[in-house]
Structure 1
Amino acid sequence: MTADMRERLIVGLDVPTVREAEAIVRKLDDEVTFYKIGYQLAFAGGLDFARELAKSGRKVFLDMKLLDIDNTVASAVENIVKMGMTMLTLHAYPKAMKAAVAAASGSDLCLLGVTVLTSMDEQDMMDAGYEYDPHTLVLRRAEQARIAGMGGIVCSAEEASAVRRIVGPDMAVVTPGIRPAGADKGDQKRVMTPADALRAGASHLVVARPIVKADDPRAAARAILAEMATVK
């Protein structure tokens, strides 16, 4: 069961340099096979590193949260397909999702719609000018992603159960903001433990700081995988 969970645990390489990312991957060795690369590392040589990880047989979740005019989104997706990435995020705006789905057609790239960032709560949404509370907007965007033909959704584990009911059993539900019991929440406001997130309907868990900042990242990853494996 733990081996199966390696396909569902995504370690966020949220570090400032490729050298540090390489060190983490070495420490985790074959304990982890799936990694997320976001803005911080991407702009420090992380895109080339992402290609290297993919060539080595590891899976890569490229967290770029794309949003632009349709043609630009489509062109970006076409190039990302060529990189051999496993997952790619874009903001769940209907036109952007439609353009991305068309561009990725025939490939194995799983497109994920970002609903509402897990660092945002209701007050943050109001401050940004949204008329919906986080939960309502997440569900609205999940439905739009399903209609657009996206491969999955990124949402808080708190919304995973409701999202799963909307998108059905086949779409991925990827949940960041995962924190083992007793871990520091950091700047995340909507968090959940690994086991509870899986029970809520998540297909994949994104864990960064609790692993990459741990004194022993390998042991931290192993403990999370063991907790995940308790979920039937």
Structure 2
Amino acid sequence: MTVDERIIVPLDVPSLSAALALVDQLPQVSFWKVGLELFVSTGPAIVQELKARQKRIFLDLKFHDIPNTMAGACRMAAAQGIDLITIHGAAGKTALMEAQAGVIAGAAGVGVPTPMVVAVTVLTSIAPQALSLELKIPLDLPDYALQMALLAKDSGLAGVVCSPQEAGQLRRFLPADFVLVCPGVRPTWANANDQQRTMTPAQALQAGATYLVIGRPITAAPEPAAAFDRICAECSTALSS
């Protein structure tokens, strides 16, 4: 897998027309993230448009519900040809297993590849103090992220979403093919924005990330295509050194 294939760019825009304009502006991007705002606005239409352009799709809706509901949602998502789906690890093992069973059934029903299901460990907008003081989680943040990752693995999921700062630790305890999707990735020349636990793209890949989710440093740049190419070049140089 080449570096450019490992970078997922979010379509964090409010309409179908704005999303497609961004896709057309970045033809070299092969993997796009569809989140809550865009999916609520457009529904499956954005998925159909991206599939027609032969793009890979990361459906980042972070399902978190009772097991039966999560299974049904994942089954329907898989039937649309989604490549990567997020669910919340905090939903518990039964829900995670049901979600995995749902994608298998949904994909098989229409004859498409089974999408990867990844569990959110800790949102990258949550600082360690918030985990302790606001959510009352008794574990340190890295330990809690590891617990969620091990739960995902034991539930048969493909991987997890984690901060790049936790990627190195998770890699020590998890198989090489266990997928780590890392948001909170910012080049040194970009603002951190609302991310609390960040790392540069090259550092994240060196730490063991499989995929990097990089949004505003690319999409808000004066020249998005140039920003994407710059990130790919920096990552390639770091990995080959």
Give the TM-score, by structure 2 length. Answer: 0.91
Q: Equivalent residue for 1:113?
A: 119
Count, aligned residues? 229
Q: Secondary structure at the match of 1:150?
A: coil
From 50, 54, 57, the counterpart of 2:47: 50
**Deviations 1:123-150 (Å, cap 9, x if unpaired)?**
2112122222221110001111111110
Asked whether the 8 Å contact 1:37–1:46 carries over to 2, the reply is no
Q: Equivalent residue for 1:81?
A: 78
Q: Which amino acid aligns with 2:98?
A: A
* Unaligned runs of at least 5 residues, structure 1: none
Rounded to whole Å, the distance in 2 between the matches of 1:166 and 1:137 is 13
Q: Equivalent residue for 2:102?
A: 103
Q: Secondary structure at the match of 2:114?
A: coil
State the percentage of identical aligned residues: 38
Asked whether the 8 Å contact 2:158–2:178 carries over to 1, the reply is yes
Q: Equivalent residue for 1:25?
A: 23
Rounded to whole Å, the distance in 1 between the matches of 2:67 and 2:186 is 35
Residue 139 of structure 2 corresponds to residue 132 of structure 1: yes
Residue 68 of structure 2 corresponds to residue 71 of structure 1: yes
1:46 CA displacement: 4.9
More moved, 161-170 vs 100-109? 100-109
**Deviations 1:34-76 (Å, cap 9, x if unpaired)?**
0001111111105311222023211000001101111111111
Q: Secondary structure at the match of 1:90?
A: strand
Rounded to whole Å, the distance in 2 between the matches of 1:54 and 1:202 is 25
1:184 CA displacement: 0.6
From 106, 128, 150, the counterpart of 1:122: 128
Asked whether the 8 Å contact 2:124–2:162 carries over to 1, the reply is yes
Asked whether the 8 Å contact 2:68–2:95 carries over to 1, the reply is no
**Deviations 1:186-225 (Å, cap 9, x if unpaired)?**
0101000000000000010000111111111111111111
From 170, 176, 188, the counterpart of 2:183: 176
More moved, 149-158 vs 10-19? 10-19
Asked whether the 8 Å contact 1:142–1:166 carries over to 2, the reply is no
**Deviations 1:12-41 (Å, cap 9, x if unpaired)?**
111122221111111101x11000011111
Bigger relative CO (Cα 8 Å, ≥ 6 apart) = 1
When the two chains are superposed, the root-mean-square deviation of aligned CA atoms in Å is 1.3
**Deviations 1:81-115 (Å, cap 9, x if unpaired)?**
11100000000132221111111225420000100
Rounded to whole Å, the distance in 1 between the matches of 2:169 and 2:218 is 28
Give the TM-score, by structure 1 length. Answer: 0.95
* Unaligned runs of at least 5 residues, structure 2: none
Rounded to whole Å, the distance in 1 between the matches of 2:216 and 2:87 is 22
Q: Secondary structure at the match of 1:149?
A: coil
